Amino acid sequence: MSGLLFAGATLPDGTLSDILVRDGFVERIGSDLKADGCEVIDVGGLRVLPGLVDLHTHLREPGFEASETVLTGTQAAAAGGFTTVFAMANTSPVADNAGVVEQVLGRGIDSGYATVQPIGAVTVGLGGAELADLGSMATSRARVRVFSDDGKCVHDPLLMRRALEYVSTFGGVVAQHAQEPRLTSGSQMNEGAVSARLGLTGWPAVAEEAIIARDVLLAEYTNSRLHVCHLSTAGSVEIVRSAKAKGIKVTAEVTPHHLLLTDETASEYDARFKVNPPLRTNADVMALRQALADGTIDIVATDHAPHPSEHKECEWNDAAFGMVGLETALSIVQLAMVETGLLDWVGIARVMSHQPAVIGGVDDAAGVLAEGRIADLVFIDATSRSTLTTDDLAGKSINSPYLGMELPGRVVHTVRHGYFTQRDGVIVSADVVSRATRDYDNSHTGAGTEVTDG
């Protein structure tokens, strides 16, 4: 592979530096670097971060290819600066066995736009009745370390206990979708003044908080790792904060949309704003921002949930839950956290690159910008502002709540394993990415293992 010399980048801490990438790795970081035979790319004025890592992505394949595929989903990831994504298990067939997780892994390798790490289901068929074969997924070629029934809650406390005990034997983590089903039957949006005014069935905050409270106790009892998906309420923040103070092994994520949008967006019955868990109140949004800033919430995760237009352009009660988020995540976090002074760019690298890689068990291969590490990088123009249109969405679905909004920041280049997946704001063609992937694999003994560790 030929080398790339990125000249004049602004590192997360504000230092100006050159970055020399050769053979898929960061060879040197420093001033006035020279490298014969390397292409020089002027990145003056651009910030560089470690390639973003998303612990919560719905790629929909196998089974729901009308919404997204691994290829189109990872192209959306590249557009947003992500170089590693964790694919949720709610596919058809469900990723509850070694065969399916290896299929998803293989699709990711074939795409080349991002490292795809499959998440395994906790229960067979997401049915909540029988523990899936966690061991076979953990020892498969996919080496699954994160398990989740996301989209559904593991509501049976005995099953949840057994899952926590099982994953602790190989350093895994259970990622819980915290939603007490009997408290949310038929629920359409956050329970409160807005739902009462609109006549929509409310989704009480306690339905989330009750499951989190139960599960942190189970995590403490089993001495195992619990990860809470898409935290959405101020009460949930307090439960997680208290658990961490006691030394319980709990981590938590927040989505970009829960950092910005409130339940008032439902006022026009626009189903682009229908999501699970629902958008909450402004007080919840402020609590979530503060919790991300102070470390109570560990990471940002997109919960990228594509749907075809016909599933969103309908009556609110009939519409699907979910919104796409890979392409816009960094801009939304910049708007909610950086421009409000709550996080600097070092903090953004922590919550969107390094810590997601640590929680997912891939921090040996992702989430770090340093000499000798794999060259997964994103270069952004943080000063840019533009109005989001469907042309900015690289995936298969366009159910974004931000269409028509002016957003800060623009991903200019995304580099995975030393080759461009997005260059000058344009997704690189599949043929070029495929060749670059083969070149990387051919030049590194055991490269496939390195990419998929975790």
Token pair for residue 165? 């005990």
Among 262, 409, 424, CA closest to 337: 409
Q: What is the dihedral of CA 184, 186, 190, 191, to 10 degrees?
A: -80
User: 29-32 long-range CB contacts below 8 Å, 24 or more apart?
Assistant: 29/369, 29/370, 29/371
Give the strand order in the sheet containing 52-57: 52-57, 82-87, 115-118
Which residue type, as a one-letter code, is found at position 302? Answer: T
Compute the distance between CA of residue 172 and CA of residue 146 in angstroms, rounded to an integer: 6
Among 170, 177, 157, CA closest to 219: 157
- Cβ(356)–Cβ(332) under 8 Å? no
Distance set, CA 36 to CA 5, 8, 22, 32 (Å): 10, 17, 11, 13
Selecting among 54, 215, 263, 303, the annotated active-site residue is 303
- Cβ(135)–Cβ(147) under 8 Å? no
DSSP string, 104-133: HHHHHHHH-SSEEEEPBPSBGGG-SSSB--
**Catalytic: 303?**
yes
Q: How many CB atoms within 10 Å of residue 391?
A: 7
Residue found under tokens 């504000």:
14
Among 336, 332, 334, CA closest to 324: 332
Q: What is the dihedral of CA 265, 199, 315, 332, to 10 degrees?
A: 20
Compute the distance between CA of residue 157 and CA of residue 147 in angstroms, rounded to an integer: 16
Active site residues: 303
